[in-house]
């Protein structure tokens, strides 16, 4: 099981981002954690080994990443997965037939698809609620509820859940609170400190930050859950390869440098869009016009680079998307380069039309992931793309 080095806890976030979970490699002192490309480990004698038996169970590169992200999230144990969805799938295997889950109605489309097309077939029931309203979460809880799943801010509607309130509801219900912290990253939001039992990430996004791998992560500070996650990680086997772990680990070393720039660009682009297109059509928790701006300021230390814009129609969305030059039209987010997407047909393409309509995800919505380029270029790009609208 990958437990953090306790000595890493005392440092500041930037020092932790660069060093936590890593020690100079013992053979030559290499400062970078080696990529342990191996499937197995030679044993000293029958029943005697160096703590490593087979690489599905443990890999030193993976362990360094797991410790690093666990520390950044303020947790004690980390578990890396082959994708964010793989992490979600593994968390759901903590459940059994008959269990009930309260889930945010607006979650990543792949999370919804996993629930709707796969997990429902295993006798687990789900109630989808608008988790902006804590009372709604509470009302959905039943005696069978074992897990509350929230994304905050949500993908793509940028809605927030009051994590302290959700944590209290979960504790009262004897259920686990799981928070998908992908959009905020641990630099801006630490769900474990606010009452979450498990934090989940698509490592693919801000943690890696360079759009060159797919990965997932789960962090907890509960020893009992860590034992179960370790068992499920090894037993389910959705583990990342060591090269992807190396890339993610290299990415986290600059998380504290990248996030303030994503945030700075996000704020400037959101302010420009609000002026150009109308405050009510620009969804960014950092804008005072965002209905949950006060909560965002309370539980997040920054707002990041994700912005959604209601263009009013699919034709308007297409007008903008087809003209972007610096922003690339692509799925994903959180990389150094700016991306733009059409959630209704891309990330949330597998969500049925009536479900999208209920949560307010329209064909006119576009989503921006502001990268770390020069903000003047991002705004100029939007200016030319919105021309004519
Ligand atoms: O793509 P993967 O690493 O499997 O992560 C899934 C996932 C989980 N949670 C959130 C909040 C996510 O945004 C994602 C992946 N999202 C995209 C690919 C996207 O463009 O929104």
Residue 121 lies in a domain: yes
**Residue 243 pLDDT grade (very low, low, confident, very high; cuts 50, 70, 90):** very high
Write out pLDDT tens, residues 295-341: 999 999 999 999 999 999 999 999 999 999 999 999 999 999 999 99
Q: Which of 205, 258, 267, 356 is catalytic?
A: 205
Same domain, 90 and 180: yes
- d(CA 108, ligand 1 centre) in Å: 6
Same domain, 86 and 180: yes
Cβ 201 vs Cβ 191: under 8 Å: no
Same domain, 78 and 219: yes
Q: In this structure, which residue's CA is closest to atom 12 in ligand 1? A: 108
Residue 1, pLDDT above cutoff 80: no
Residue 147 lies in a domain: yes
* 276 noted as active-site residue: no
Cα R_g (the chain), whole angstroms: 21
The 3-state DSSP class for residue 150 equals strand
* 180 noted as active-site residue: yes
Same domain, 186 and 237: yes
Q: What is the pTM of this model?
A: 0.98
Helices (H), ranges, the chain: 13-19, 60-72, 84-92, 109-117, 134-140, 163-173, 185-188, 223-236, 242-252, 255-277, 293-299, 314-323, 353-359, 375-386
150 bridge partner residues: 179
Which residues span the domain enclosing 112? 6-252
Same domain, 225 and 290: no
Residue 74 buriedness (CB in 10 A; 0-12 / 13-18 / 19+): middle
Residue 27 lies in a domain: yes
Q: In this structure, which residue's CA is closest to atom 13 in ligand 1? A: 108
Same domain, 241 and 310: no
Residue 327 lies in a domain: yes
Final residue before a domain boundary, out of 252, 278, 299: 252
Final residue before a domain boundary, out of 195, 224, 252: 252
Final residue before a domain boundary, out of 252, 268, 298: 252
Same domain, 98 and 213: yes
Residue 206 lies in a domain: yes
Residue 59 lies in a domain: yes
User: Among 81, 86, 88, 108, which residue has the most ligand 1 atoms within 8 Å of its CB, making it the best to mutate?
Assistant: 108
DSSP string for residues in 292-313: THHHHHHH-S---SEEEEE-SS
Cβ 124 vs Cβ 153: under 8 Å: no
The owner of tokens 């005697």 is: 48
Three-state SS sequence of 168-222:
HHHHHHCCEEEEECCCCHHHHCCHHHHCCCEEEEECCCCCCCCCCCCCEEEEECC
Atom of ligand 1 nearest to the CA of 214: 3
Task: Indicate which CATH number applies to the domain containing 97.
Answer: 3.40.640.10
Same domain, 46 and 101: yes
Listing from the earlier edge strand, what are the strands of the sheet with 339-341?
Answer: 282-283, 306-310, 365-369, 339-341, 328-329
Overall number of domains in the chain: 2
Same domain, 310 and 226: no
Q: Which of 36, 62, 89, 108 is catalytic?
A: 108
Q: How high does pLDDT run on average in the chain?
A: 98
User: Among 191, 205, 212, 338, which residue has the most ligand 1 atoms within 8 Å of its CB, making it the best to mutate?
Assistant: 205
- Give residue 126's Cα distance to chain centre: 21
Same domain, 222 and 280: no
Residue 1 lies in a domain: no
For residue 146, the 8-state DSSP code is E
* 9 noted as active-site residue: no
Q: Which two tokens stand for residue 105?
A: 């109605």
Section 231-257 average pLDDT: 98
- CA atoms of 240 and 78, how far apart (whole Å): 13
- Please give the pLDDT value at position 88: 99
Write out pLDDT tens, residues 199-233: 999 999 999 999 999 999 999 999 999 999 999 99
Task: Indicate which CATH number applies to the domain containing 362.
Answer: 3.90.1150.10
Same domain, 15 and 70: yes
Same domain, 125 and 146: yes
């Amino acid at each position: 099981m990958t437990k953090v080095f306790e000595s890493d806890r005392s440092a500041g976030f930037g020092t932790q981002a660069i060093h936590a979970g890593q020690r100079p490699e013992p053979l030559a002192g290499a400062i970078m954690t080696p990529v342990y490309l191996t499937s197995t480990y030679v044993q000293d004698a029958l029943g005697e080994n160096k703590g490593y038996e087979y690489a599905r169970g443990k890999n030193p590169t993976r362990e360094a990443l797991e410790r690093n992200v666990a520390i950044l999230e303020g947790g004690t144990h980390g578990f890396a997965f082959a994708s964010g969805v793989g992490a979600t799938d593994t968390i759901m295997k903590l459940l059994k037939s008959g269990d009930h889950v309260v889930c945010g109605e607006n979650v990543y489309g792949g999370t919804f698809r996993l629930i709707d097309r796969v997990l429902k077939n295993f006798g687990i029931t789900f109630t989808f609620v608008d988790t902006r309203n804590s009372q709604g979460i509470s009302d959905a809880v039943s005696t069978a509820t074992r897990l509350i799943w929230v994304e905050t801010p949500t993908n793509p509607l940028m809605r927030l859940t009051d994590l302290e309130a959700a944590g209290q509801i979960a504790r009262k219900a004897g259920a686990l609170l799981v928070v998908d912290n992908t959009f905020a990253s641990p630099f801006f939001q630490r769900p474990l400190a606010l009452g979450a039992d498990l934090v989940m990430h698509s490592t693919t996004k801000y943690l890696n930050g360079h759009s060159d791998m797919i990965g997932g992560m789960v962090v907890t500070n509960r020893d009992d859950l860590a034992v179960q996650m370790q068992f499920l990680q090894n037993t389910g086997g959705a583990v990342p390869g060591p090269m992807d772990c190396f890339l993610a680990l290299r990415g986290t070393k600059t998380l504290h440098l990248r996030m303030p720039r994503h945030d700075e660009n996000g704020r400037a682009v959101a302010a420009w869009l609000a002026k150009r297109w109308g405050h009510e059509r620009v969804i960014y928790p950092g804008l005072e016009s965002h209905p949950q701006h006060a909560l965002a300021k309370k539980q997040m230390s920054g707002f990041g680079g994700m912005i959604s814009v209601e263009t009013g129609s699919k034709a308007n969305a297409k007008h903008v998307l087809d003209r972007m030059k610096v922003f690339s039209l692509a799925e994903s987010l959180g990389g150094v380069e700016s991306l733009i997407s059409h959630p209704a047909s891309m990330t949330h393409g597998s969500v049925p039309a009536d479900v999208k309509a209920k949560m307010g995800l329209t064909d006119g919505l576009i989503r921006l992931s502001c990268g770390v380029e020069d903000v003047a270029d991002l705004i100029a790009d939007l200016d030319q793309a919105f021309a004519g609208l």
